[in-house]
Amino acid sequence: MPVLVCVELRSLSGRLPMIIPFPKPAAAKDSLLPTIPSISDEPLEMLEACHGRVRAFTETLRKLVPHLAKNGADAEAAQAASNILRYFDLAAPKHHQDEEVDLFPLLLATAPEDTALAAAINQLRAEHLQMGHLWLQLRELLLLVSEGRMADLARDNLAECFADFYQQHAASEEAGVFAAAQHLLSPSQRELLGRSMAARRQDR
């Protein structure tokens, strides 16, 4: 079972970024609105772009904690909570399916004797399950905020733990299986991967 590493809650000043999950927003020079990576047609680039979105939405989650303490569940907090909910309810599960249904089996079939790669994939699968459990706890609180009601996202360091865990998981995937995929997958395998990922998004 992976160990959650939670850092001390940071008090961040300023307004919450109003993140829209799919279109890439145009932000002013000094805006706190993060740049959302655009989605590429190349499957490995698309997977990394999804991680960029994960980082953007988890940073919004971090900022939501002090915003609630200072301003309550105002309209801005409700919109931010709705955006986070939309991303982790709809887009994030598809990203996990991209990996578990398509990428991981393809890598294991391509390098069946690579025990280190197999162990890394098993660890990532376990982390997906644990992140899912954390999300169910956090989701209940974000639903309240999205309705304009107060919720304690700092309870048990839940929001910070979720953000830390997701970001650490993304970094581990990029350094491990994504790097391996760059070396192992042929053009035809990448095309197959891309087609499957694209088909998954036809249903959204």
Whole-number Å distance between alpha carbons of 21 and 13: 23
Place of tokens 């999804």: 50
Whole-number Å distance between alpha carbons of 168 and 4: 10
Other beta carbons within 10 Å of 58: 21
Give the CA angle between residues 145, 146, 149 to the nearest 5°.
Answer: 40
Task: Please report, for residues 104, 184, 192, the alpha-carbon distance to residue 171 in angstroms, rounded to integers and kept in the order given.
Answer: 16, 19, 25
Phi, psi of 9 (to 5 degrees): -60, 135
Per residue in 98-153, pLDDT (tens digit) is 999 999 999 999 999 999 999 999 999 999 999 999 999 999 999 999 999 999 99
Task: Please report, for residues 3, 9, 28, 78, 117, the alpha-carbon distance to residue 17 in angstroms, rounded to integers and kept in the order given.
Answer: 30, 18, 12, 12, 37
Q: Taking the domains of the chain in order of start, what are their residue ranges?
A: 43-203
pLDDT class of 204 with cuts at 50, 70, 90 = low
Per residue in 35-81, pLDDT (tens digit) is 444 445 689 999 999 999 999 999 999 999 999 999 999 999 999 99
pLDDT at residue number 203: 62
In the CATH hierarchy, which top-level class contains the domain 43-203?
Answer: mainly alpha
C-beta separation of 28 from 179 below 8 A: no
Q: Amino acid identity, residue 114? A: D
pLDDT at residue number 95: 97
Per residue in 136-148, pLDDT (tens digit) is 999 999 999 999 9
